[in-house]
Amino acid sequence: MARWLAAAALGVWLGASAVGAVQAQSSSPRPRPAAPGPAGATPTAPAAPKSTAAQDRSQPVTVDADQLVSDQKQGLVIFTGNVVARHNNSIQYADRMEVYLDEKGDKVMRTVSTGTVRIITRDCRTGTARRAEYYDAEQRVVLIGDARVWQEENVVTGERITIFLAEDRSMVESGAGGRVKGIFYPKREGEASANGKPAPGAPCKS
């Protein structure tokens, strides 16, 4: 049970259900080698490779914290103290993470992280804020309070930054009397046009 609760907490920044990742890891048996067929039999074609979404679901999810408190009646799991959540090269750091589940307790609806929040996405964007909210149904992450997101030298700042994961777009909003700010550097001659993204499977710098 504790393992499931820890895995469920990282719905944020995944683009896939954390519950699905746990089910894929804990209940799916390892495929057995095919038995050799009779002589002269035509070999069958290998199964098609899994889609990116299926591969994401099969990745393990881990959450480390100093303390975990579960309230099953409220459908709430709370991690506190040096919270570190990891999944498929995505990382989130926070002082406190609240995980809200559906009525059945088998799906993450949203998460709320507070304190010194820092996130690193799979495409190596880094974000900081005082609070981060994730909404699973909408695949939406909201950074609130002195929000800042950067990749390499490019950076945007505002009071509130909303990132729509499935649509690869974001929105930056200012606070009362403030303004948003963005700094974008042109690519230098000789640099690869990879938009700052790492090679597939390569970890981001934390």
Give the chain's domain count: 1
Whether 85 maps to a domain, the answer reads: yes
Whether 39 maps to a domain, the answer reads: no
What local confidence, expressed as pLDDT, does residue 79 receive? 96
Q: Give tens-digit pLDDT for 93-147.
A: 999 999 998 888 878 888 899 999 999 987 888 999 999 998 888 888 899 999 9
What local confidence, expressed as pLDDT, does residue 38 receive? 53
What local confidence, expressed as pLDDT, does residue 107 receive? 81
Q: Give tens-digit pLDDT for 141-158.
A: 899 999 999 988 899 999
- The stretch 196-206 carries a mean pLDDT of 59
Tokens (6 digits) for 137: 């149904």
What local confidence, expressed as pLDDT, does residue 26 receive? 32
Q: Give tens-digit pLDDT for 162-198.
A: 988 778 788 999 988 789 999 999 887 665 544 555 5
Whether 38 maps to a domain, the answer reads: no
Whether 176 maps to a domain, the answer reads: yes
Tokens (6 digits) for 184: 């974008």
Q: What is the CATH number of the domain that holds 108?
A: 2.60.450.10
Whether 113 maps to a domain, the answer reads: yes
Residue 159 has pLDDT above 90, yes or no: yes
What local confidence, expressed as pLDDT, does residue 200 receive? 53
Whether 71 maps to a domain, the answer reads: yes
Q: Give tens-digit pLDDT for 13-24.
A: 333 333 333 333
SS (H, E, C) the chain: CHHHHHHHCCCCCCCCCHHHHHHHHHHCCCCCCCCCCCCCCCCCCCCCCCCHHHHHHHCCEEEECCEEEEECCCCEEEEEEEEEEEECCEEEEEEEEEEEECCCCCCEEEEEEEEEEEEECCCCCEEEEEEEEEECCCCEEEEEEEEEEEECCEEEEEEEEEEECCCCEEEEECCCCCCCEEECCCCCCCCCCCCCCCCCCCCCCC
Domain that holds residue 6: 2-27+54-183
Residue 11 has pLDDT above 50, yes or no: no
Whether 34 maps to a domain, the answer reads: no
**Distances 157 to 152, 160, 181, 183 between C-alpha atoms, Å:** 14, 8, 5, 9
Whether 122 maps to a domain, the answer reads: yes
pTM of the model: 0.67
